[in-house]
């Protein structure tokens, strides 16, 4: 009974200290290190009662989506040296998530959903040597240090959808020796990006999008000149070995006269040269030879327009004199109008005199004209003949010499008041 109680007490103490391997994990030894492999178990947190003495901790292919601050330190996992968190759903990592992992030398965060990490995220892991961030989504990188670490030697950024490499990206990684940037979306690179890496020994730039322009070829030459292990992407196309061997073995052939090999019948030229002297072309034939039909049509159209403009101008000059903006009639029409006015005035004067001499002619006036002069007393001697008296005349029928001219009224308005 005492032995049973002692066994139960030891089991409880061991369970309390987490010395039992969880059922989701496999616990064993690897190179003298305590290893716990918890793979593909739908684990959502790093705390699954794994013993604190774990040194190689693998949580790959699970459902962990974030790492809180001090998550390893609070669980007592301070002995971890190798940590594998690949193939999870991690999209956020606290700034002090790896606090307490002073002995960590290898960290695998590949194939997660990280888009950004703080540059000093691994400040609490001073012994970190290898970092794998491949398979994340670092599409747009700022022109600032990507990471700040003095001991990091291997960095893997393979297949991270990186579009460009800013010049200050690796300025805070003085001991970096191996860098993998292959399978990204970059089309060019500047050697200023790699210049701060004084201890770089190997670089991988495998990519299908490189533009083999002089700038990229210069970067490749600079990498090779620094003694860095590198596989060139822009390689010159070399001739095939079989082609080279054929070109060397094939003997030089001599020229062969085909007249001795082929049966060629030469046709005799029986054309009799003509002794008839050549006739000089007429001007019309020269014009027809030098100008096409379209050019001749255009020239004819231009000539016709010019003739039409000149003819129209001459015709208009015969009838009017053109000033700046108006056209006046010729001077010959003025005397004609003057003669018409004089003839019209004479006709009206004759009609007036006929009314004076024949007062019996009745023409009812349309309206009565007002007298411009007082009426004279009648009868009075007519034209100085004694004994002859004339009837009284209307004042309007008398033309005073100094009086202003007024055009005579029409015929139907002329009347003598008796």
Mean pLDDT of 301-330: 74
Alpha helix segments (H runs only) across 161-249? 191-194, 214-225, 241-249
State the Cα–Cα distance between residues 408 and 353, nearest whole angstrom. Answer: 12
Q: For residue range 208-264, list pLDDT tens digits in order.
A: 889 889 989 999 999 999 999 999 888 754 444 444 444 445 456 666 665 666 656
Global pTM value: 0.55
- Mean pLDDT lowest for which of 54-68, 71-85, 187-201, 245-259? 245-259
Parse the chain into domains and list their residue ranges.
Answer: 333-370+378-413
Q: For residue range 319-352, list pLDDT tens digits in order.
A: 666 554 455 555 566 677 777 777 777 666 666 6
Task: Check: CB of residue 79 under 8 Å from CB of residue 102.
Answer: no
Q: Which residues does 158 contact at the CB level (< 8 Å), separation at least 6?
A: 134, 135, 180, 181, 182, 183, 184, 204
Residue listed under structure tokens 């010959």: 332
Give yes or no for residue 80 having a pLDDT over 90: yes
> How many CA atoms does the CB half-sphere of 11 hold within 13 Å?
6
- Mean pLDDT lowest for which of 128-132, 176-180, 302-306? 302-306
First CA to last CA across the chain, in angstroms? 181
* Residue-by-residue DSSP string for 167-187: TTTTTT-TT--EEE--SSS-S
| Phi, psi dihedrals of residue 390, rounded to the nearest 5° | -110, 150
Mean pLDDT comparison of 183-187, 277-281, 293-297, 348-352, highest-scoring range: 183-187
Q: Which residues does 110 contact at the CB level (< 8 Å), separation at least 6?
A: 86, 87, 132, 133, 134, 135, 136, 156
Q: Report the relative pairing of strands 130-132 and 106-108 from DSSP bridges.
A: parallel
């Amino acid at each position: 009974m005492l032995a049973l109680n002692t066994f139960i007490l030891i089991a409880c103490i061991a369970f309390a200290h987490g010395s039992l391997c969880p059922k989701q994990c496999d616990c064993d030894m690897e190179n003298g290190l305590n290893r716990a492999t918890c793979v593909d178990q739908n684990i959502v947190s790093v705390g699954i009662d794994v013993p604190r003495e774990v040194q190689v901790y693998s949580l790959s292919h699970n459902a962990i989506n974030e790492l809180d601050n001090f998550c390893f330190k609070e669980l007592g996992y301070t002995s971890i040296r190798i940590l594998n968190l690949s193939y999870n759903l991690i999209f956020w990592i606290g700034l002090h998530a790896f606090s307490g992992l002073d002995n960590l030398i290898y960290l695998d965060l590949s194939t997660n959903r990280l888009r950004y990490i703080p540059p000093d995220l691994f400040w609490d892991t001073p012994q970190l040597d290898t970092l794998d961030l491949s398979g994340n989504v670092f599409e747009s990188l700022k022109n600032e240090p990507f990471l700040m670490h003095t001991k990091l030697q291997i960095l893997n950024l393979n297949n991270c959808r990186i579009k460009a490499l800013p010049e200050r990206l690796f300025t805070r990684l003085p001991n970096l020796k191996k860098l993998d940037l292959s399978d990204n979306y970059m089309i060019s690179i500047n050697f200023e990006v790699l210049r701060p890496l004084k201890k770089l020994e190997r670089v991988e730039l495998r990519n299908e999008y490189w533009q083999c322009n002089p700038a990229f070829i210069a970067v490749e030459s600079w990498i090779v000149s620094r003694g860095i292990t590198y596989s060139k992407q822009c390689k010159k196309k070399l001739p095939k070995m079989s082609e080279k061997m054929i070109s060397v073995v094939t003997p030089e052939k001599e020229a062969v006269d085909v007249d001795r090999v082929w049966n060629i019948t030469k046709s005799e030229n029986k054309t009799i040269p003509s002794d008839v002297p050549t006739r000089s072309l007429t001007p019309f034939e020269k014009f027809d030879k030098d100008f096409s039909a379209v050019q001749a049509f255009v020239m004819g159209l231009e000539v016709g327009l010019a003739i039409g403009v000149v003819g129209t101008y001459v015709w208009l000059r015969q009838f009017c004199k053109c000033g700046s903006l108006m056209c006046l009639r010729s001077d010959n029409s003025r005397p004609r109008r003057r003669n018409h006015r004089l003839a019209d005035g004479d006709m009206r004067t004759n009609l007036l005199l006929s009314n004076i001499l024949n007062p019996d002619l009745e023409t009812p006036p349309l309206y009565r004209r007002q007298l411009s002069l007082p009426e004279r007393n009648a009868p009075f001697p007519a034209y100085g003949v004694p004994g002859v008296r004339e009837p009284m005349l209307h004042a309007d029928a008398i033309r005073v010499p100094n009086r202003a001219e007024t055009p005579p009224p029409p015929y139907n308005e002329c009347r003598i008041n008796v």
